[in-house]
Amino acid sequence: MSKAPRSATAYRDWGSDESRTSIMHVDMDAFFAACELARRPELRGLPVIVGGRGRGVVLAATYEARAFGVRSAMPMVSAVRLCPQAVIVPPDHRRYTDVSRSVMATMAEITPIVEQISIDEAFLDVSGARRRLGPPTAIGARLRAHVQKVHGVTCSVGIAKNKFLAKLASTHAKPDGMLLVPDESSVPFLRTLPVGALWGVGEKTEAVLARWGVTTVAQLADTDVATLQAAVGRVSGAHLHDLAWGRDPRPVVPTNRERSIGNETTFGSDQDDLVAVEARLLELCDQVAGRCREAGVVTRTVALKVRTNDFRTLTRSRTLDGPTDVARDLYRVARELLAAVDLRGLPVRLVGVRAENLQDRAGFAEQLTLDEASSARPSARREAELALDAVRERFGSSAIGLGAGGMAAARQRAFEDADRLRDSRHAPAG
């Protein structure tokens, strides 16, 4: 949990307008302790401290232990003195790392713009994922449900127009909550907070500001910049004044460049109808290609993953003749890979497709296939799928069905739209 002070009035409904709130901060709740409770449910409801005994320090504590004043980084001796009945659990860093990687991978499936800032928290820019997954609150709810279902731990989500506000929102949503701060509510939200809630205001700065009569964010915002600079310095004074008015220009910077983009699905019941498996594969290729276009990348390698009902997992991959971000190209290869897999007559439990060996679309010279080169419309396939993107962006991700029949019909309509657009561009003047 954030050490910054919270306001009792800040966690409330600030409105529902999500049009200018695409930044999300996800923070795992008492992460190390939650991981331990997930595999030792008999400890739920008890004060649990994760850390070494003796001269060790507290790495994490459940909210039941925090009620006694136990905090992270506190000497274990002090923690035990405050809460002698606490259950002390030694840390399992390998498990925490495994869960963290899985959660971060889930975030990367939502958007390639993920900035991990610690083992248990990250910023996401979901502006490019709206047409595929819905508004930020829907994305946040889906992520929270998935993390709890898969790992048995909870996370809190803050949604706002920038990183600073999203971080404050997640702090006030804890534990296991989600808080949206619409753009027009940013300043009213901030004015409910104590000045110590601002980034960069530690105990010393807070004491200095208090001597100048500034103890709340509202008072800080109403103080002229020159006075603040006299109190805490030229740079800090201007910075804190910007924060008090909700100004934070920093973008979400991906921690690591995404090396692959993939989607997979587990069937509700084991599937022995390969036509149905191929139909699902088509949906997955459409999703992956859309995410590639969102991220502005193309792929050179298509990978297939199949798991049969005996939990045997098979993977196959093939390098393409040229890079692409077109679903039809991915599906053609993925379907051929599926046909070549020896399923031993067993039903399919899971199928997935992944685009690997990614590169920026802007950085490559498009190489046409033989079929495309001989066609009068070499870019028709991509234009059709861009038309689908536009429909989904306008009417929502469910506007066009992703079943095999629906996909074929939708693609045909999109091709027709692309043809009309192209004809209008090349029609003779006059």
Residue pLDDT, tens place only, 212-234: 999 999 999 999 999 999 999 99
What is the DSSP secondary-structure string of 51-72? E-STT-BEEEE-HHHHTTT--T
A 10 A CB-CB count for 109 gives 19
Report the C-alpha gap between 172 and 192 in whole angstroms.
Answer: 12
Average pLDDT of adjacent 10-residue blocks, the chain of 430 residues: 55 88 97 95 96 81 95 90 95 87 92 92 95 95 96 97 97 95 97 92 93 96 96 94 96 76 86 94 92 86 94 91 90 95 93 89 54 50 76 62 45 45 48
Residue 94's pLDDT is 81
State residue 6's pLDDT score: 60
pLDDT at 261: 87
3-class DSSP assignment, residue 359:
strand
Q: Give me the pLDDT at residue 379, please.
A: 63
Round to whole Å and give the CA distance between 59 and 51: 5
d(CA 33, CA 239): 35
CA–CA distances in Å: residue 254 to residues 107, 148, 248: 11, 24, 17
**Residue from 18, 109, 115, 121 carrying the catalytic annotation:** 121
Cα of first residue to Cα of last residue in the chain, in angstroms, is 68
Q: What is the structure's pLDDT at 393?
A: 66
Name the strands in the sheet holding 348-360, side by side, starting at the edge strand that comes first in the sequence. Answer: 260-271, 348-360, 297-308, 313-324
Q: Is 206 a catalytic residue?
A: no
Which residues participate in the annotated binding site? Answer: 27, 120
All domains of the chain in start order, with CATH: 193-245 (1.10.150.20), 260-415 (3.30.1490.100)
DSSP 146-178: HHHHHHS--EEEEEESSHHHHHHHHHHH-SS-E
DSSP secondary structure string for all residues of 202-238: -HHHHHHHHHTT--BHHHHHTS-HHHHHHHH-HHHHH
pLDDT at 9: 60
- Reading the block at residue 99, the tokens are 């869960």
Residue 397 is predicted with a pLDDT of: 56
The pLDDT value given to residue 93: 84
Owner of token pair 């595929």: 132
